A and B are shown apart, each in its own frame.
Chain A
Amino acid sequence: MPKIPYFSTTSRRKFISRTSATIALASSGLSIPMIARAASPVKIGLIHPATGWAAYPAAQLRYGALMAIADINARGGIKSMGGAPIEALLGDSQTKPEIGAAEVEKMNEAGVHALQGCYQSAVGLASSAAAAKYNIPFSIDVGVSDKLVQRGLPNVFRMADGYGRIAKDAANNLGEINKATGSKAKTVIIVHEESEFGTGTAKLMTAALKEHNLEVIDSIKHANPTRNFDNVALRIKSAKPDIIMPINYPGEYVLLAKTLRQQRVDFMASYSVLGGGFNFKFVNDMPEIAENMIDVNHWYNPGSAAGQAMRARTEADSKYFTFEVYCAYMSIMFLADGFERAGTTDSEAVNASLAASELEVDFMPYDKTNMVNGQNMGSRAVAIQAQKGDVQIIAPSKYASANAVFPRG
């Protein structure tokens, strides 16, 4: 009598999966021709500054993109193309526009069907222009300069906001928050970094805030990098603004926040726009400083199941759930949807399909996608606030997960 072997849980699972695989294979034997016609992959090139000062955002962008690609492939790839899987080609722009453009050439030769990138607007400009020569669809995952979508290039798209619309959103959100407390705040000081990102956004904010009766009494420009903010803090202290508005990169963002605290500068709120350093890590590492700081940025929708799931997954991978992750994910979804509806990798058709996209991204606080000249008009930036160690959306009210603490506690 044959001994019935004892199966441990794991080996039982393996046995079952192997059995079902055998069954699956057997039944699929009936449709071998279909499998033999397995579709060739849809290649998407990712161009990010993997080495250099922006290596961390680049790593996050790659992570988000690869997660999206894995998910789409697990669900069967691009079904209208026979289940074609997406294949990622990784490129390093080394923070230089010329290298980004060279990567585009390299990927074009490798038969890439779409491109995604580049975090820095300068690199994005050069790379998408290089891609335009071959009409390769190019989705900007992160890159805030509005020049990116103002060149009339039919192959360039951006799902997230540029600084023009973000500035409007930021001003509107601040106006809404301010009104809700009886319009206590009247004056703002902007602290911005010196390049296009900071200077351009600061200019737009100054104009936009006027419409909400908020006056920018000073706009302090600082270098990249800045070693210390003591003078800036003192300047702000003597001007006594109601609101401080940082527009800069992570290192300076955190330094400024720490210095303001050290110099005991008093203000109603720190309300940053595209604050590079405002994220779960910041709130985690420096809770006392971060408490009640507000930022207006790309942010996921914490009220959505998909958003929460993505956050959980990311944190389970020991990574912070920064905006790069879901912006990259969303951009891949957008491209995949474009291929799905076009049913082909022909760039003309895909660009047309992308331009007509009506994709709904459930994990973002966005309306249905609506591409106008390459810019998604359904996107929005939301106001988020650090509250008791977590981050809540406080404006616009449709997506708010908590009330604003304003003035700060």
Chain B
Amino acid sequence: MSRNGALMLLVSAVVLLLAPYFIESKFYLDVLTLIFFTAYIGQSWNVLGGYAGQFSFGGVMFFGTGAYASTILLTTFGVPPIIGIFAAIFAGASLGFIVGYMSFRSGLRGSYFALITLAFAELLRVLANSVEFTGGGVGLFLTYAPGLHNIQFDSPVGFYYFSLLLLTISILIALWLERSRFGAQLAAIRENQDAAEALGIDTLRCKIYAIMIMGGMGGAAGTFYAQKYLYLDPPIAYSISLSVEMLLVTIVGGMGTVFGPLIGAFVLHIVNEITRHFIDTPGLSLIVYGVILVVIISYLPNGLMGLFKSRSKASDDGGLGPDETGGTSKDA
């Protein structure tokens, strides 16, 4: 990263850290918290989708499983969420391993892989509805008890800092991917998996690590949500709309970039708020939102980060479909 870039980063970090002191409005703090949360979970998608080039449509499964893990530990065994969150991370990563192993071992790539993640998420949703220990369709209720050990705060400031913490960790993970050998291996897999394999990279292992990171990150997000909103049921835990949201903010922001998910989350949330502010009629504001979305993608095919970067990287098609040049194969 350039010196200018690092300086900008430092300034932004300080601004965000001190924000609660000069932002009086609890509402804006809450908005920022939601943006950070979305950016964080978008970054988890980015690890597997942007950096490793494996699109997924079922990312919510890590969120839901993590949320259930820490919540069940809390409601059944009284384990405080500050510890439970690690169980959630473990649960998410384990699920990532299972799904990754089954899918990647069978050689699934591209849209096939994306679809199988959707199938897993749906499977978990149906199961969660029928199993006793998740509360079934009734769901799980958490009691309001502010305290750090509970990851509950009586003011939005607490949740703001916690989400900022999660966001920072996710950015550090992305930075690490940009610089590490592991990240370079993922990039090689993204550009051309067969070539990477030929170069001696254990693509199966790398991809499984990537999905485990995604899973662990997602799990923590689940705990955060459960502690903030105090209710969990299968439609919330395994909702397709969260899977869509994580890929949406990342692609709009810029896949495979450190700040893509954050920028995407920011811009899309602002657009949503502004359209709602000016347009009262239900539906109309979302039509405008949809149009703006289409416009952004049409003119910025590399996402919003494309505005900042020059196209130094060779552009790739993300591996979702068959590459015209015969690159990333979609065939399994």
What residues of chain A have their CB less than 8 Å away from a CB belonging to chain B? 50-51, 55, 58-59, 90, 92, 97-98, 101-102, 105-106, 108-109, 122, 125-126, 129, 133, 147, 151, 193-196, 198-200, 221, 223-224
Contacts and interface: CB of A to CB of B under 8 A. Distances in A.
B233 A195 contact: yes
B235 A58 contact: no
A198 B141 contact: no
A97 B231 contact: yes
Contacts of B231: 97, 122, 125-126
Interface in B117-171: 126, 129, 136-139, 141, 144, 154-156
A147 B141 CA distance: 9
The 6 closest A-B pairs by CB, nearest first: A50-B282, A194-B137, A105-B27, A196-B138, A195-B137, A106-B27
B30 interface: yes
A122 B233 contact: yes
A69 to B, nearest CB: 15
A219 to B, nearest CB: 12
B31 interface: yes
Nearest to B144: A129
A325 to B, nearest CB: 17
B interface, over-half SS? helix
A358 to B, nearest CB: 30
Contacts of B292: none
A109 B144 contact: no
B295 interface: no
A108 B155 CA distance: 13
Contact of A92 (B137, B138, B276): B276
A129 B280 CA distance: 25
Contacts of A193: 137
Contacts of B236: 97, 122
A91 to B, nearest CB: 9
Nearest to B24: A109
Interface string B155-197: 1100000000000000000000000000000000000000000
B86 interface: no
Nearest to A97: B229
Contacts of A147: 141
Nearest to B135: A196
Contacts of B228: 98
Interface of B: 25-27, 30-31, 34, 126, 129, 136-139, 141, 144, 154-156, 225, 228-231, 233-236, 276, 280, 282-283, 286
Given A101-B229, A102-B30, A126-B230, A51 B282 contact: yes
Contacts of A129: 144, 230
B235 A195 contact: yes
Contacts of B283: 50-51, 55
B27 A194 contact: no
B282 A199 contact: no
A58 B136 contact: no
Contacts of B282: 50-51, 55, 58-59, 92
A105 B27 CA distance: 5
Given A92-B282, A102-B27, A133 B137 contact: no
Given A98-B34, A98-B229, A122-B231, A108 B139 contact: no
Contacts of B156: 105
Nearest to A100: B229
A124 to B, nearest CB: 10
A194 B30 contact: no
A185 B225 CA distance: 47
A199 B137 contact: yes
Contacts of B229: 97-98, 101, 126
Nearest to A91: B276
A154 B324 CA distance: 64
B286 A51 contact: yes
A195 B231 CA distance: 13
A90 B137 contact: no
B151 to A, nearest CB: 15
Contacts of B144: 129, 151
A118 B185 CA distance: 49
Nearest to A102: B30
Contacts of B141: 125, 147
Given A98-B225, A122-B233, A195 B26 contact: no
20 contacts: A51-B283, A58-B282, A97-B231, A98-B225, A98-B229, A102-B27, A102-B31, A109-B26, A109-B27, A122-B231, A126-B231, A151-B144, A195-B137, A195-B138, A195-B233, A195-B235, A196-B138, A196-B233, A198-B137, A223-B126
Contacts of A194: 129, 136-137
Given A55-B283, A195-B137, 10 more contacts: A51-B283, A51-B286, A98-B225, A122-B233, A122-B236, A125-B141, A126-B229, A193-B137, A195-B233, A199-B136
Contacts of A92: 276, 282
Contacts of B139: 122, 195-196
A98 B136 CA distance: 21
B70 to A, nearest CB: 17
A221 B34 contact: no
A107 B230 CA distance: 21
A79 B329 CA distance: 73
A200 B138 contact: yes
A221 B228 CA distance: 30
Nearest to B283: A51
A193 B235 CA distance: 13
A158 to B, nearest CB: 17
A233 to B, nearest CB: 22
Contacts of A125: 141, 230-231
Contacts of A58: 282
Contacts of A200: 138
A97 B237 CA distance: 12
A266 B156 CA distance: 56
